[in-house]
Amino acid sequence: MLFFLDSAKLDEIEYAIKNWKIDGITTNPKHLMTAGMKMDEFIKKIKPMVEGTHITVSLEIDPHLQDPEKMIEQARNLATLSENFVIKIPATEPGFIALEKLAKENVKVNMTLIFNVLQALQAAKLGAYYISPFVGWKEERGDFDKDFIATIVKAVKNYGFKSKILIAAVRNLKHFEEAALAGADIITAGFEVYKRGFENPYVKLGLEIFCDAWQKIQ
Ligand code: E4P
């Protein structure tokens, strides 16, 4: 399973690449806003950080776009900027039309805002590179489905599609467990979710106990 960082904050990205050997970055307009960066500025800074590595960066097209041709044009332009870029297209009807054409041109598309099996299968059939079900968004809105992750993974894998399932909007370690047990290809989570996972309080407690014992046997 690959681990992606869901962030546009360059300090977080730098830290995660260096210390956690993160495999990819996912961004969206909200992440750029939080990081206080325009898309152009982000692209300029992220390119040298990832080029020549296996790290992909998912960049979202303007969410206002409704016309497939305009979506395609913007996606193409972004994709030509780096081989590491994967273009996020929303799972709307125009988005699926755009996906089909872009996939035929070998543009890597991350189909984003996936909330059901129909969307996931359509994305797979039309050649999405990544399919991003947003697990946290459903739960936060009371649409809790304990089998959501497993269902999407199984449905897509049943038919041997090449698309990779990228579990997104991950909020906690339970989501990591569910994604891993379901055989999801990738997970993307925010910086704090990883931090909480790596800095388990029992590890801290264990180290205190062992340090104490170590001192006593000197
Ligand atoms: C993933 O590609 C999305 O950017 C992300 O997971 C959306 O969730 P969030 O912005 O609510 O964390």
- Ligand 1 pocket test, pick from 3, 4, 6 with the greatest ligand atom count within 8 Å of Cβ, gives 6
- Token digits of residue 203: 């590890």
CATH number of the domain that 26 lies in?
3.20.20.70
CB of 30 within 6 A of ligand 1: the answer is: yes
Distance 169 CA to ligand 1 centre (A): 4
- Ligand 1 pocket test, pick from 2, 9, 28, 129 with the greatest ligand atom count within 8 Å of Cβ, gives 28
CB 88 within 8 A of CB 57: no
pLDDT above 90: residue 16: yes
- Token digits of residue 202: 């029992």
- Token digits of residue 90: 């929303």
ipTM: 0.95
Q: What's the number of domains the chain is made of?
A: 1
pLDDT at residue 144, rounded to an integer: 84
Residue 23: which domain range?
2-216
Please pick, among 88, 101, 108, 164, the residue that the annotation labels catalytic: 88
pLDDT at residue 212, rounded to an integer: 98
pLDDT at residue 164, rounded to an integer: 98
88 is an active site residue:
yes
